[in-house]
Amino acid sequence: MENEVIELLEKTLKLNGRSKTFSAGTRLRGALPELDSLAVAALLTQIEKQFNIRIEDDEIDGSIFATVGALTDFISQKVKSSGAHRD
Protein backbone atom coordinates (compact mmCIF):
# COMPACT_ATOMS: atom_id res chain seq x y z
CA MET A 1 0.00 0.00 0.00
CA GLU A 2 2.92 2.36 0.62
CA ASN A 3 3.71 2.45 -3.09
CA GLU A 4 0.10 3.31 -3.89
CA VAL A 5 0.19 6.17 -1.38
CA ILE A 6 3.43 7.49 -2.87
CA GLU A 7 1.95 7.33 -6.38
CA LEU A 8 -1.13 9.18 -5.14
CA LEU A 9 1.05 11.88 -3.58
CA GLU A 10 3.02 12.20 -6.81
CA LYS A 11 -0.08 12.57 -8.93
CA THR A 12 -2.16 14.76 -6.63
CA LEU A 13 0.64 17.11 -5.58
CA LYS A 14 2.28 17.15 -9.03
CA LEU A 15 5.73 16.39 -7.62
CA ASN A 16 7.37 15.89 -11.03
CA GLY A 17 9.08 12.64 -10.05
CA ARG A 18 10.36 13.77 -6.66
CA SER A 19 8.39 11.01 -4.97
CA LYS A 20 10.74 8.37 -6.41
CA THR A 21 12.96 8.83 -3.36
CA PHE A 22 10.10 8.64 -0.84
CA SER A 23 9.93 5.95 1.83
CA ALA A 24 7.86 5.43 4.98
CA GLY A 25 10.05 7.87 6.90
CA THR A 26 9.82 10.69 4.35
CA ARG A 27 8.46 13.81 6.02
CA LEU A 28 5.46 15.39 4.37
CA ARG A 29 4.01 18.11 6.59
CA GLY A 30 6.39 21.05 6.65
CA ALA A 31 8.72 19.41 4.15
CA LEU A 32 6.62 19.62 0.98
CA PRO A 33 5.61 23.15 0.01
CA GLU A 34 2.99 21.60 -2.28
CA LEU A 35 1.15 20.18 0.72
CA ASP A 36 -0.87 23.28 1.61
CA SER A 37 -4.47 23.34 2.87
CA LEU A 38 -5.96 23.14 -0.63
CA ALA A 39 -3.70 20.23 -1.50
CA VAL A 40 -4.70 18.42 1.70
CA ALA A 41 -8.36 18.72 0.70
CA ALA A 42 -7.61 17.42 -2.80
CA LEU A 43 -5.49 14.60 -1.40
CA LEU A 44 -8.23 13.52 1.02
CA THR A 45 -10.74 13.44 -1.84
CA GLN A 46 -8.42 11.31 -3.94
CA ILE A 47 -7.72 8.96 -1.02
CA GLU A 48 -11.46 8.45 -0.51
CA LYS A 49 -11.95 7.69 -4.20
CA GLN A 50 -8.95 5.43 -4.69
CA PHE A 51 -9.36 3.41 -1.51
CA ASN A 52 -13.18 3.49 -1.38
CA ILE A 53 -13.29 4.88 2.15
CA ARG A 54 -14.97 7.79 3.91
CA ILE A 55 -12.83 10.13 6.00
CA GLU A 56 -14.70 12.21 8.56
CA ASP A 57 -13.53 15.72 9.46
CA ASP A 58 -12.91 14.76 13.08
CA GLU A 59 -10.46 12.05 11.97
CA ILE A 60 -8.11 14.56 10.38
CA ASP A 61 -5.17 16.08 12.22
CA GLY A 62 -1.64 17.02 11.33
CA SER A 63 -0.16 13.74 12.51
CA ILE A 64 -1.73 11.92 9.57
CA PHE A 65 0.44 13.95 7.20
CA ALA A 66 3.65 13.81 9.25
CA THR A 67 5.29 11.13 7.09
CA VAL A 68 4.51 8.80 4.22
CA GLY A 69 4.32 5.97 6.75
CA ALA A 70 1.83 7.83 8.97
CA LEU A 71 -0.41 8.50 5.98
CA THR A 72 -0.12 4.89 4.81
CA ASP A 73 -0.97 3.59 8.30
CA PHE A 74 -4.02 5.87 8.51
CA ILE A 75 -5.30 4.70 5.12
CA SER A 76 -4.62 1.03 5.95
CA GLN A 77 -6.56 1.30 9.20
CA LYS A 78 -9.47 3.03 7.45
CA VAL A 79 -9.60 0.37 4.74
CA LYS A 80 -9.52 -2.44 7.30
CA SER A 81 -12.12 -0.88 9.60
CA SER A 82 -14.51 -0.07 6.79
CA GLY A 83 -14.19 -3.40 5.06
CA ALA A 84 -13.79 -1.36 1.88
CA HIS A 85 -13.12 -3.02 -1.41
CA ARG A 86 -10.90 -1.01 -3.66
CA ASP A 87 -11.70 -0.54 -7.34
- What's the predicted TM-score (pTM) here? 0.91
Domain residue ranges in the chain: 2-82
What does the pLDDT profile of the chain (87 residues) look like in tens digits? 999 999 999 999 999 999 999 999 999 999 999 999 999 999 999 999 999 999 999 999 999 999 999 999 999 999 999 876 554
The whole-number pLDDT of residue 18 equals: 96
Query: What fold, for 2-82?
Result: 1.10.1200
Going by C-alpha positions, the residue among 2, 6, 3 that lies closest to residue 15 is 6
